[in-house]
Amino acid sequence: METIHLKSADPLSQAMLRSAALNGVELIWERAEKLQPQDGFLRLGLSCPYDCLLGPCRIDPFGQGADKGICGLDRDSMVAATLYRLCHRGLLETLNIVPAAARDLENTCPVKVKDLANQVLGSHGLPPLSGSSLLDTVLRTAQGPMNHEKLLLGALHLSLLNLVLAGSSQRGEHPGFGACSAGYGVINGDSACIGFCGTPSPELVRALHRQTVGAQTETAHLVALGAWIPGDGGYLPLACSSGASELLLSSGAVNLVVAGLDADPALFQLCRRLNIPAVTGTAEASAMEILQTACSRHKQSSRPQLFSDVPPARDFTVHSSGKSPSGLVSRKQSGRVGLICGSDMPHMTMGKISQELSAALNNDGMILGGWGDACWWIMNHEQDPSFVAFDPLTGPLLAVLDLVEAGGFDRLDGICYTGLKRCREFATALGLAFLGCRVSIAVPIPILGSREVCRSLSEKLRVSGGELVHFDHPAETEELTAWFANR
């Protein structure tokens, strides 16, 4: 109980943590603590990422044990292969959630971004953006005699394809932007509360929205549990960040959960533990049945006392495609630009870095924007009313397009990821750096096992003017603020 303030910077989250502890509910923090210390070989990139059955193979970071895998893979190639497989997995994750039409990169990618990307790819002897290059790269197997230089180039190619593919897709049916609201206040109300997580079926989201909006009978309100989910004309209200989704469920404020792709297994386990109905969110599910189940559950329970004095949610606009300018930056506008993004991490105080970093950069007069959990924490606490919110999937490329339209990356002081959860987040961060952006990641990434890979990666990013800074420890706000200042 004495470590609650180290788990979350939000007072209401801390109150929910106390309630969960009193009720004996295990959450993400307890699981993370039980797993310590985590595998140091994986953290350094020295545990072979290939799926052969000879291993697992690990290389001694101190040079006193194994210096090659059973197949002969050496230290540098093993670390580079780890980087490659992270980017490969990230691109597959993106392919799994974007519509098939977005894969036509020749026609979906904005012209100025495509020209910049092809220029960067050409400077490294890589093929230009195309649907065929996307397929060829995804199917390519990075096994065999490939050295670390070729593996690094492959990883960078994958990362850029991931960035462009995700950013060129259309989110929802809105023309580039949509209304949203953030904060625990979105769960308030006398009706049943249906929470969405992962990437549920868009058809089901629309069907439930039609059933609940404007209904004359008893109904429910829809909220997102850490996932940015397009609805009719906007986005579902964001009740919490992804790291706090289990915490909110443990409070009893959500009457039913709809889970789609990417939903964590722990959410299903917690729903069973707390007797909260959960459905998988497929197109076959009946919206009316879901609504009836949620309302029935709501009648049997009451809204937790914890939420009696929750302030109203913060309303804002989410920008999701290049069809509408975001207002982040323009040729007529002056000032430096900073982007804050990333996911919650259980070993870091949730919300602390994003809020502190936003406040520090805002005091310096910087134009700020961002996406993901970091954006939720900033919006929830109104650190910066002018903060520009982007969709986590399409927003990174849209921010790049805004900067290119305004004359390039000269005004960008940096893009800071306060945390990473999924491989596609890492692939996006690397793709931004490869395209020419300054990027920092506040958590360690698995490449520190090879100085040669770190050096070679930095040199390749420098060709396009990009930079990727990472730490061998969870970074503090002061370190990230200093990085922004030392442009």
CA dihedral 417, 421, 422, 425 (to 10 degrees): -10
CA dihedral 258, 260, 264, 270 (to 10 degrees): 20
Largest CA distance in the chain: 73
Are the beta carbons of 294 and 211 closer than 8 angstroms? no
Are the beta carbons of 399 and 375 closer than 8 angstroms? no
Instruction: Give the pLDDT score at 172.
Output: 55
Instruction: Give the pLDDT score at 412.
Output: 93
| Residue 182: burial class (beta carbons within 10 Å; 0-12, 13-18, 19+) | buried
Instruction: Give the pLDDT score at 385.
Output: 66
What is the rounded distance in angstroms from the CA atom of residue 255 to the CA atom of residue 423?
A: 31
CATH number, span 184-307: 3.40.50.2030
Backbone phi and psi for residue 118, each to the nearest 5 degrees, phi listed first:
-65, -35
Token pair of 380, please?
A: 């929830």
Instruction: Give the pLDDT score at 258.
Output: 92
Strands in 307-376 per DSSP E: 314-319, 337-342, 367-371
Instruction: Give the pLDDT score at 233.
Output: 75
Token pair of 252, please?
A: 């009893």
Token pair of 452, please?
A: 């040669």
Same fold flag, 184-307 and 330-485: yes
What is the rounded distance in angstroms from the CA atom of residue 50 to the CA atom of residue 34?
A: 27
The DSSP H or E segment spanning 234 is strand 234-235
Are the beta carbons of 137 and 165 closer than 8 angstroms? no
Q: Which CATH architecture has domain 330-485?
A: 3-Layer(aba) Sandwich (3.40)
Domain ranges of the chain: 4-34, 40-168, 184-307, 330-485
DSSP string, 70-129: TT--BHHHHHHHHHHHHHHHHHHHHHHHS-GGGG-HHHHS-HHHHHHHHHHHHHTTPPPS
Q: Which residues of the chain have pLDDT under 70?
A: 1-2, 131-145, 171-176, 213-218, 281-285, 303, 322-326, 330-333, 382-385
User: Residue 199 carries which DSSP code?
Assistant: B
| Residue 147: burial class (beta carbons within 10 Å; 0-12, 13-18, 19+) | exposed
